[in-house]
Amino acid sequence: MEQAVTVIKIRDGCRSDLAEITRLERDLTRFDRAFDPTLDPDWPASPAGREFYEARLSRTEGLALVAEEDGRVVGYLLGCLGKAAEYSTPELTAEVECLYVDPTRRGEGIGGRLVARFEEWARAAGARRLRVTVSAANRRALRFYRHRGFRLFDVLLDKPLVNAGGPAAGD
């Protein structure tokens, strides 16, 4: 018996994708809390979170891409353009802000296709660099991005401080 072949379509996100992106973003935040306990799992559904996603979906402040299978969003990428820091050579930079693929669909090339499509968009917009922030402890994400040509660039060091109210978050 033949198995049905499913097709994953990469397309621009639209406002009707907001609920699915928010759902997946909550999954991403829960996953990423293992690496960064300061992440707020409720932020994706907050007014600020909604405003952020709507800005990407409307393309007023970046781009939203979705991976869709049979009308269901199985992955997404949010990104934006920005200038380098004032003390750097003024290059237009594109940043991958969020990338998530349903865990049951990982290893199928969906994330790579989303990044490739984002890179096409960034080049067309005049960006000279792609950037992404990844937790140092997230080895799988580091391998994923390195495999796509990203290289270690900056290192952010973090030190939790204890305040008068008790231990810092994550302690």
Q: Read off the DSSP letter of residue 170.
A: T
Ramachandran region, residue 56 (left: φ > 0; alpha: ψ -120 to 50; beta: rest): alpha
Is the model's pLDDT at 164 over the cut of 80?
no
Q: Which residue has the higher pLDDT, 59 or 40?
A: 40
Is the model's pLDDT at 1 over the cut of 90?
no
Residue 163 lies in a domain: no
> pLDDT digit string (tens) for 138-151?
999 999 999 999 99
> pLDDT digit string (tens) for 63-111?
999 999 999 999 999 999 987 667 777 788 999 999 999 999 999 999 9
Rounded to whole angstroms, the Cα distance separating 155 from 74 reads: 31
Number of domains forming the structure of the chain: 1
Asked if 80 contacts 99 with a C-beta cutoff of 8 angstroms, the reply is no
Residue 143 lies in a domain: yes
Is the model's pLDDT at 165 over the cut of 70?
no
Is the model's pLDDT at 3 over the cut of 70?
no
Residue 112 lies in a domain: yes
Residue 62 lies in a domain: yes
Residue 2 lies in a domain: no
Strand partners, 75: 67, 101
> pLDDT digit string (tens) for 53-64?
988 898 877 899
Residue 84 lies in a domain: yes
